[in-house]
Each structure stands twice: as structure tokens, then as C-alpha cells.
């Protein structure tokens, strides 16, 4: 998907060419999204390394091994990834029942990059959520309430597209995996990895303030499998690198502790037991199905009818206004019921 100002255009020829190779094969599509300049592309390259080097626990042990720059990454403040990029060749893994599944990776333009509008950010997040089986929400530090509020706005954008196509069934979540990936985790009260992440996420989800409840409900109603992983800092050889684009990095440049957690995350994402295969309404989607979905969704998201998200402040004001009107309606109905009973 290419970025033309705030408009995003699906390069249909490229998309079809990629998924035509796996027309009848189930898919696992790993997407990463979140604020710009937070190591998204770098992480995808490390996860790809796991699959390309044979999926063993030793893939991060050969310190001289270079990490391929499949997705461009670099240091500095300027945004790097633009639009949505997808790997053009499938990597085959097996699901629980031993069936072949084609894995693809999807990198996205970082949000809030000074050059993209609210609508543009929403379209990217929505499209990558719609097409993936696992959306990694990449954030630095801990989860703040505004991270969840943005997630709700962007997810609603994606839900809108699904609902337009009547793919949403009230009893099922339209989307599958959502993994909060918290980079540079420093808080000593939760351990790195998924165990600490899930415990920490449980405390975040516990919020009972009325204003914050709907954000959490919306998340649980949208994604069927929500997880969280706490990542250590990768070390200054990575973080302070003033790389030119495409400069190779060796495993020896990356902190051991960080690589251990990447290894665990990769195992979780691609292991037969926990692999999430792309489904919609409970039906497995193959390459052919994904091509059709992409065309439909691209049409909906680029049509003028999509609700316009200008800024979170405006969206919040609108949500509060709707809440206020609903409250008035309830009060009015209660009042009328009492009048009838009198
Ligand atoms: N502190 C820190 N830096 C990281 C981490 N992972 C990668 N980096 C560095 O962050 C910088 C940006 O990495 P990218 O992978 O290009 O980040 P991105 O999120 O894809 O950036 P955009 O495409 O511009 O949104 C690079 O210098 C990386 O070396 C991390 O976990 N912590
Ligand atoms: Mg990037």
C-alpha cells in the first residue's frame, strides 16, 4: 500500500502477485504497527531471521550472523517505513494438525509522524488489522491510557470496514491476535517476556473508571486473542546506531537478554500449538480469499463514507457527546415509565 498524502492506494497488481502464489494455502500474517521510530522494522527482521534460519532455539546464538534488512530500518528522528510493506515470498510452517501454513510479514508506517493525518494513521492501522492474523501493537515503555484510546479509534475504523461487508457477526470477534509489545521495559515489578506481560496487562485491563471501561470492552470484543510481551532494552549498539539505511547488523551487536526474549516471542508466534491462522467469521482464509478481502477493504477505506477521524480530542468529544445523549435518552425513558406507572 502506498502513501499519497493522506490517501492510501493498494498496489493491487503487487498484492495479487504475492498472494496468488498461495491461492489455496491457509495464511498467518504477522503485522506490526504503532508510533513511529520505535524499532518496528528492526523487530520484524529479527523475527524473520528465526524462520529463515530453520526455527531452532540456536538461531540467535551464532554471533557473527548478520540480520538481513528485509525491512529497511535506521536510526535518527526521520520516519523510515512509508505505507504498508509485505514480504513477497511465503515461509512455510505447520499448524496444530500438521497442515502447511504460509507466513507473511507486514510492516507499517509509524503513527504520529508529523507528516500523516489522523485519517492516514487510521487507514494504515485499519488495513493492517483487517489483513493480518496477528497485530503487534509496538509501544515504548508501559501502556498509557491514550495508547488504548488510539487503539480503540483505529480498531473501530477497521470494524467499520468489516461491518460494511456484513462479515461481522455479533457473537464473534472480527479480529484475532493482538500482542502489545512493550519495548525498553524497565519496571522491576514484572518480568520480561509473556508471563510478566500478561500479568501486567491484567492490571491495565482492571481499570474500573466508567470512562475507561468501554475502551477495554471494545478491545476484548474486537480481538479474540490478546497478549502482551515485555522486551528488555536491546543495548546501545542498537539504540544509538546512526546507521545509513541498509547497514547490516550482527547478532553480536545486540544484547543477549534482548535476543533471548525475541527467541521466545518467535517461538510463540510460529510454534504449531500457538500459531494463529487467518480466519474471518471462523472460516480459514487462503491467498485467494485474502486478495478478495483486500480489494473490498481498500474500496471501503478509500471511499468518502468512512467516518473521518481528525484527532483523538475530536473523537473523544464526539464519544462523550454520544454518551451524554444516550444518558439523556435513558433518563427520559425512565421518567416516562414512571409517568405511565403513576
Ligand atoms: N531503544 C530502542 N531502540 C531500538 C529498539 N529496536 C530498534 N531500535 C532502534 O530504533 C531505531 C529505529 O528503528 P526502526 O526499526 O527503523 O523503527 P520503526 O519503528 O520501524 O521506525 P519508522 O518506520 O520510522 O516508524 C533504530 O536505530 C534501531 O536500532 C528497541 O527495542 N529499543
Ligand atoms: Mg519502520
What would the mean pLDDT of 96-111 be, rounded to a whole number? 95
Q: What is the mean pLDDT of the chain?
A: 86
Whose C-alpha lies nearest to ligand 1, atom 6?
Answer: 39
The number of CA neighbours under 13 Å toward the Cβ of 55 is 12
Q: Which ligand is the nearest neighbour of the Cα of 138? A: 1
CA distance 66 to 265: 19
Predicted confidence at residue 71, as pLDDT, reads: 94
Total count of residues recorded for the chain: 342
Report the distance separating Cα 121 and Cα 108, nearest Å.
10
d(C-alpha 186, C-alpha 141), whole Å: 7
The Cα–Cα gap between 3 and 188 comes to 40
Is the shortest distance between the CB of 183 and ligand 1 below 6 Å?
Answer: yes
**90 and 102 in contact (C-beta within 8 Å)?**
yes
pLDDT in tens, 132-145: 999 999 999 999 99
2-4 vs 7-9, strand pairing mode: antiparallel
C-alpha to C-alpha distance for 78 and 113, rounded to whole angstroms = 8
What is the model's pLDDT at position 311? Answer: 47
pLDDT digits (tens, 9 = 90+) for 164-198: 776 555 557 899 999 999 999 999 999 999 999 99
Cα distance between residue 103 and residue 92, in whole Å: 6
Residue nearest to atom 24 of ligand 1 (CA): 79
Closest CA to 123 of 257, 6, 274, 246: 6
Task: Give the whole-angstrom CA distance, residue 98 versus residue 147.
Answer: 37
Question: Can you tell me which residue has the cell 485474502?
Answer: 290
Identify the bridge partners of residue 27 per DSSP, sorted by sequence position.
Answer: 102
Q: Which of 206, 207, 141, 148 is nearest to 178 (CA)?
A: 148
Mean pLDDT, residues 40-61: 94
Interval between CA 33 and ligand 2 midpoint (Å)? 9
pLDDT in tens, 208-264: 777 788 899 999 999 999 999 999 999 998 888 876 555 678 999 999 999 999 999
Among 36, 73, 182, which is best to mutate for testing ligand 1, by the most ligand atoms less than 8 A from CB?
A: 73
Phi-psi region of 284 (alpha: psi -120 to 50; beta: other; left: phi over 0): beta
Q: Which residue's CA is the closest to the ligand 1 atom numbered 2?
A: 239
Using the mean position of ligand 2's atoms as its centre, give its distance from the Cα of residue 189 in Å.
Answer: 30
CA atoms within 13 A on the CB side of 122: 25
Tell me how far apart the alpha carbons of residues 278 and 3 are, in angstroms, rounded to a whole number: 25
- CB 190 within 8 Å of CB 231: no
Q: What is the pTM of this model?
A: 0.89
Q: Is the pLDDT of residue 337 over 70?
A: no
Cell of 242: 546512526
CA distances to 34, 249, 288 from 85, rounded to whole Å, are 15, 21, 19
Amino acid at each position: 500500500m502506498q502513501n499519497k498524502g493522506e490517501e492510501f492506494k493498494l498496489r493491487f497488481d503487487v498484492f495479487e502477485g504475492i498472494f496468488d502464489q498461495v491461492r489455496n494455502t491457509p495464511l498467518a500474517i504477522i503485522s506490526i504497527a504503532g508510533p513511529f521510530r520505535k524499532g518496528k522494522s528492526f523487530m520484524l527482521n529479527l523475527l524473520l531471521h528465526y524462520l529463515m534460519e530453520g526455527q531452532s532455539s540456536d538461531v540467535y546464538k551464532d554471533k557473527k550472523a548478520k540480520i538481513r534488512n528485509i525491512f529497511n530500518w535506521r536510526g535518527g528522528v526521520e520516519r523510515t517505513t512509508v505505507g504498508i510493506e509485505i514480504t513477497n515470498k511465503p515461509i512455510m510452517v505447520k499448524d496444530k494438525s500438521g497442515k502447511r501454513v504460509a507466513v507473511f510479514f507486514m510492516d507499517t508506517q509509524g503513527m504520529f509522524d508529523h507528516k500523516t493525518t489522523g485519517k492516514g494513521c487510521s487507514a494504515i492501522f485499519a488495513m493492517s488489522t483487517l489483513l493480518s492474523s496477528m497485530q503487534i501493537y509496538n509501544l515504548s515503555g508501559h501502556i498509557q491510557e491514550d495508547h488504548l484510546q488510539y487503539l480503540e479509534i483505529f480498531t473501530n475504523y477497521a470494524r467499520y470496514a468489516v461491518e460494511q461487508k456484513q462479515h461481522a457477526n455479533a457473537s464473534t470477534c472480527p479480529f484475532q491476535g493482538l500482542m502489545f509489545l512493550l519495548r525498553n521495559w524497565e519496571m522491576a515489578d514484572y518480568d520480561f517476556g509473556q508471563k510478566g506481560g500478561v500479568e501486567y496487562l491484567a492490571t491495565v485491563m482492571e481499570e474500573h473508571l466508567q470512562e475507561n471501561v468501554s475502551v477495554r470492552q471494545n478491545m476484548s470484543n474486537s480481538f479474540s486473542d490478546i497478549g502482551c510481551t515485555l522486551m528488555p532494552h536491546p543495548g546501545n549498539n542498537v539504540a544509538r546506531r546512526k546507521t545509513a539505511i541498509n547497514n547490516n547488523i550482527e547478532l553480536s551487536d545486540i544484547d543477549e537478554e534482548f535476543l533471548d526474549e525475541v527467541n521466545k516471542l518467535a517461538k510463540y508466534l510460529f510454534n504449531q500449538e500457538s500459531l494463529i491462522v487467518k480466519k474471518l467469521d471462523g472460516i480459514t482464509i487462503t491467498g485467494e480469499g485474502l486478495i478478495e478481502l483486500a480489494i473490498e477493504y481498500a474500496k471501503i477505506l478509500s471511499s468518502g463514507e468512512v467516518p473521518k477521524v481528525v484527532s483523538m480530542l475530536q473523537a473523544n468529544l464526539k464519544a462523550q457527546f454520544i454518551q451524554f445523549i444516550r444518558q439523556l435518552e435513558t433518563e427520559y425513558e425512565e421518567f416516562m415509565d414512571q409517568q405511565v406507572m403513576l
